[in-house]
Structure 1
Amino acid sequence: MYLYNIVVGIIFSSQIGVGVFGNSLFLCCFGLTLFRSNRSRPMEPIVVQLMLTNTIVLLSQGCPLVLFHLQKGYFLGNAGCKMVFYLHRVGRGHSICTTCLLSVFQAATISPSHSRLGKLKVRILKFIRPLCLLCWTFNMIIEMNAPMYITESRSVNSSHQGGLDLLYCHRERAPKELTILHSLRDIFFVGCMVFASGYMVFSLYRHHQRVHHIHSSCLSPRTFPEVKATQTILLLVSIFFTAYCISCGLTLYKVYAISSGTCVVIVATFIALCFPTISPFLLIHRVTQTSKSCCTCW
């Protein structure tokens, strides 16, 4: 069992270290790019928000598990559990909102000028920063009641009935109204994300059909960067959606299963942290301007 705790601690330590390094590297590259060009693209604030949110999720969800397995005990207490879980919930909710905004605004960017979405393109892009701030405020308010249902681990206080054992803390069953509110938020933003992704796939297919009969020298130089950015965001959304569905499925299994070990929580947390770990490296690799800035810096 001692070896098991060490292995789990090393795995999550490595995942957190790689993820925090990737998000920090992307933010540094973004700062250098902004300093060199003295201007930012419309959707770059959303990407910066996503990198900051990834860091919060990695630290608030992964670090407690690392310390729990390496220290072999409960260390947070009631106050620590409430604070860490609140940061985790806000970061998780903001990650869903930010990824949704990224896919919706990219869908608006590549939409034809004569379409309804294309006509609203300029107006929509002006609301990026206010919407980012609104997402932070919305998630901070909607998760205000979350710390009320977090206590020390069930192993410490055996009076807890039901809920979800997070190993380092215990989450009691929240009222149905609060659960429904959180579920509606997730369903709405994930639904918008999927709809925008489907629209982008359809737009890329139509673009491929149009340019199939046109010589590449006749294409605008801006065509390929927009297509590449759209493909990158589609890949990001696919990774997020896959990790989200698997993590939610494992969490529901842990809640409603009659007997389930701690491995379910560990696997669900590892999968949930895959997106904030992978996404910065994907953006650094696929976004042309950021990659060139990093190469120039090195």
Structure 2
Amino acid sequence: DNNNNLVLPSAFLSCTVVGLLGNFSLFCHYIILYFTGYRSRSTDVILQHLIVANFLTLLSKGVPQTMAAFGWEYSPSDFGCKMIFFLHRVGRGVSMGSICLLSVFQVITISPQNSRWAELKAKAPQHIVPSMCLCWMLQMLVNVVFPVNITGKYSDKNITNRRDFGYCSALRYDETRSILLALLLLLPDVSCLGLMLWASGSMVFLLYRHKQQVQHIRRNIISPRSSPESRATRTILLLVSSFVSFYTLACTFQLVLTLFGNPSWVLVKITVVMAAWFPTVSPFLLMSRDLTVHRIYIAWIRNAQSPTVRRNL
């Protein structure tokens, strides 16, 4: 029994620590590229917002859930509970919005010159920062419902009809109202998910068509290498597929959790673990597919070359 009781707490701790280290490593990667003078790509801005969203998600839920799972004394105030749930939902929503924007931007980037997206290629990078700011604002607006409904477990408010989440609690509604609330919160997620699936399908189609068009050229190349656009597209497809898989599992558990008036502890803990998988895995996917060491090395070489060396070359 003791070993079984340590499985989920260990999973919380592992996801939180590994996820924070991974995102911090990716953050340091961009810091190094900045100081070495490497020219950043347009997608780097989106990925930097994704890192911040991952940090919010892991810190707001991973740390307190790990403490509660191990039985450590942790009783946040009423305001603390509201902020924990609010920041977690905002971070999760911005993470989804980042992946959605990343996939749509890549479709525009790799679209052929004679397509209807061609005229947006030059303008798309200018709209990345405003789009990310809009994503943050929309997520804050949609998830304001959580500070309203979440209270501290030991709050002074006399609320008897509550759902216990370990260190915090929430107002318990009837089944009809719970379903309506779940649908309201799922609406932005479903919209982003639909855009991601459409963008992924478009990227697969464009990659396949491009491969067919240049197949006769690649036969004459001894060591064929895919273009940077193709490599970036495959990285984004891997990121999107991972996000959709983890999101589907987390969403299924979250929906069941919402429908149950008094969910079991095991269900609550599994839901949190599922929600933490993508923020934990995504930085390692990006670092493994993005040739991180190569980019840092090239940036260091460019920065290290002095005018004298350039003249001698």
- Paired residues, what number? 294
Root mean square deviation, CA, Å: 2.9
Please state whether the residue corresponding to 1:250 is helix, strand or coil: helix
Q: CA deviation at 1:261?
A: 2.5
Change in 2 beyond 3 A, CA 1:295/1:156: farther
Q: CA deviation at 1:15?
A: 1.2
Partner residue, 1:292 = 294
Superposition map of 1:1-298 within 5 A? 4-73=4-73, 75-153=75-153, 159-161=159-161, 165-173=164-172, 179-215=182-218, 223-257=226-260, 260-288=263-291, 290-293=292-295
Please state whether the residue corresponding to 1:170 is helix, strand or coil: strand
Change in 2 beyond 3 A, CA 1:145/1:258: closer
Q: CA deviation at 1:29?
A: 1.0
Cα distance in 2, alignment partners of residues 238 and 32 from structure 1: 29
Q: CA deviation at 1:151?
A: 1.6
Question: Deviation string for 1:160-192 (max 9, x for gaps)?
Answer: 436x54322223257677544422211111111
In the superposition, the TM-score normalised over structure 2's length comes to: 0.84
Partner residue, 2:304 = none
Q: CA deviation at 1:223?
A: 5.0
- Bigger drift between 122-131 and 249-258 goes to 249-258
Tell whether the 8 Å contact from 1:78 to 1:151 is kept in structure 2 after alignment.
Answer: yes
Change in 2 beyond 3 A, CA 1:154/1:284: same
Cα distance in 2, alignment partners of residues 216 and 185 from structure 1: 45
Listed as ranges, the gaps of 5+ residues in structure 1 are none
- Bigger drift between 147-156 and 57-66 goes to 147-156
1:31 maps to amino acid = I
Report the structure number with the largest CA radius of gyration: 2
Change in 2 beyond 3 A, CA 1:256/1:140: closer
Cα distance in 2, alignment partners of residues 123 and 259 from structure 1: 50
Cα distance in 2, alignment partners of residues 80 and 269 from structure 1: 18
Identity over the aligned pairs, expressed in percent? Answer: 38
Please state whether the residue corresponding to 1:76 is helix, strand or coil: coil
